[in-house]
Amino acid sequence: MEGINLIPFLDLKAQYVQIRPEIDAAVARVIGSGHFVLGPEVTAFEERFADYCRTAHCRAVNSGTSALHLALLAAGIGPGDEVITVSMTFVATTAAILYSGARPVFVDVDPVTWTMDPGLIEAAITPRTKAILPVHLHGLMADMDPITEIARRHGLVVIEDAAQAHGAEYRGRRAGSVGDLGCFSFYPGKNLGAFGEGGAVVTDRPEFARRVSLLRDWGQESKYDHIIAGYNCRMDEIQSAILNVKLDYIERWTEARRSLAERYDALLSDLPFARPQPPRHARHVYHVYAVRSQGRDDALTLLRDAGIGAGIHYPVPVHLQKAYAELGYRAGDFPVTEMLADEFLSLPIYPELLPEQAAEVVTTLRSAAALRPSVAGSGGAEHPQSVMTWSHNRRAS
Ligand SMILES: *Cc1c(COP(=O)(O)O)cnc(C)c1O
């Protein structure tokens, strides 16, 4: 039963009301200008977002999915090629690889960071492998040093799926700037969200930026001079104008997410929920704050019954989705990914969430733990590995 949402999972309106005059003025300015697609707002945003990511170039497109698709094409990936990625992600990562004509090859994720396990990459490399596409799940960057080292050794391109990781850092380097290309989404619920669809590709390589420019606008070098077969993946001016306003706030909002995560960490410390374990060198930007528990389903029901928006990111890994059955994977192929799908529970986190609300979420979780005394006291939060060894009912496939 759907109760009243006392604490929503996400509250986009709360953010808008804080910056309403600036947003409304920006939108009105675009409407008054009569310039709606790929104009001065887009160019300004590209320059500013490249700076933010500490890359030389940015090309804004119409979604994160397009960013991934065009980044793959710009890197020369196509039919007959293989791209190594993960199954614990939103389906768009896999879909974009398939759009390019290449085949996605999954590797499992690490049980502590929940991102691509670099130790599994080399065994997945074949003569057809062209790229590695790690996903910065929930806002924590994948372990990029070993990934880029393997890529260099095998002559592979690295494309970061940074759709959830605006401003995240790995050893002081920003998401999107470590691989050859970085891909972002500005879907409304993302850490930097448009009021509609949007995405961007960032890169230090001018030839990649140039190819994305061509591909997003019908391969036009100049009007009606189509030098390659392209697409319509252009970003519109209204979305860029909104993103230009919001870019001034992203650092403040990210810090608010990080302090809420710290609060959750502290409040949950005596509960049998395994918390995120970002490495010391990482700046996690908490697009999602997920915990793990074998009692996840009970906890989720309890939260929802209490009017608290909670979710699962993601409940069914891509390799077990019906839509991608043709790839030939089956249950059991990626044990860590499948365990996380069974145990993940995402708690509300957004800059406007109040610390008291986070406390209320945890109070509700406390009663969930009390409902399952066998789970309570297992000490999972301090020992993520021990959580893994709990017997658990894996979903029958
Ligand atoms: C949101 C998301 C995408 C797709 O972005 P859209 O803008 O919705 O197309 C791709 N990968 C991940 C990991 C995402 O979270």
Q: How confident is the model at residue 135 (pLDDT cuts 50, 70, 90)?
A: very high
User: By CB neighbour count within 10 A (0-12 exposed, 13-18 middle, 19+ buried), where does 32 fall?
Assistant: exposed
Question: Cα–chain-centroid distance for residue 350?
Answer: 15
Decide if 12-247 and 250-395 have a common fold. no
Contacting residues for 15 by C-beta, under 8 A, at least 6 apart? 253, 350, 351, 352
Q: How confident is the model at residue 370 (pLDDT cuts 50, 70, 90)?
A: confident
CATH number assigned to the domain with residue range 12-247, chosen from the 4 options 3.40.50.150, 3.40.190.10, 3.40.640.10, 3.40.50.300: 3.40.640.10
Query: Ligand 1 atom 14: the closest Cα is on which residue?
Result: 163
Q: How confident is the model at residue 318 (pLDDT cuts 50, 70, 90)?
A: very high
Active-site choice (190, 223, 246, 322): 190
Assess whether 190 carries a catalytic annotation. yes
Question: Which spans in 75-228 are helix H?
Answer: 92-99, 121-124, 144-154, 206-216
pLDDT digits (tens, 9 = 90+) for 220-257: 999 999 999 999 999 999 999 999 999 999 999 999 99
CB of 182 sitting under 6 A from ligand 1: no
CB of 193 sitting under 6 A from ligand 1: no
Query: Which numbered atom of ligand 1 lies nearest the CA of 66?
Result: 9
Statement: residue 372 has pLDDT above 70? no
Give the torsion through C-alpha atoms of 294, 296, 299, 303, to 10 deg: 160
Query: Which numbered atom of ligand 1 lies nearest the CA of 197?
Result: 7
Q: Ligand 1: distance of its center to the CA of 190 in Å?
A: 9
Which of 273, 291, 250 lies closest to 377 in space, CA to CA? 273
Which of 68, 212, 192, 205 lies closest to 133 in space, CA to CA? 68
Statement: residue 5 has pLDDT above 80? no
Q: Ligand 1: distance of its center to the CA of 201 in Å?
A: 13
Q: Which amino acid is at 9?
A: F
Residue ranges of the domains in the chain?
12-247, 250-395
Query: Ligand 1 atom 10: the closest Cα is on which residue?
Result: 92
How high does pLDDT run on average in the chain?
Answer: 93
Is the bond preceding 314 in cis, omega lying within 30 degrees of 0?
Answer: yes
Q: How confident is the model at residue 377 (pLDDT cuts 50, 70, 90)?
A: very low
The dihedral region occupied by 332, where left means phi > 0, alpha psi between -120 and 50, and beta the remainder, is: left
Q: How confident is the model at residue 108 (pLDDT cuts 50, 70, 90)?
A: very high
Rounded Cα gap, residues 256 and 288, in angstroms: 13
Query: Which numbered atom of ligand 1 lies nearest the CA of 137?
Result: 13
CATH number assigned to the domain with residue range 250-395, chosen from the 4 options 3.40.50.10320, 3.40.50.720, 3.60.20.10, 3.90.1150.10: 3.90.1150.10
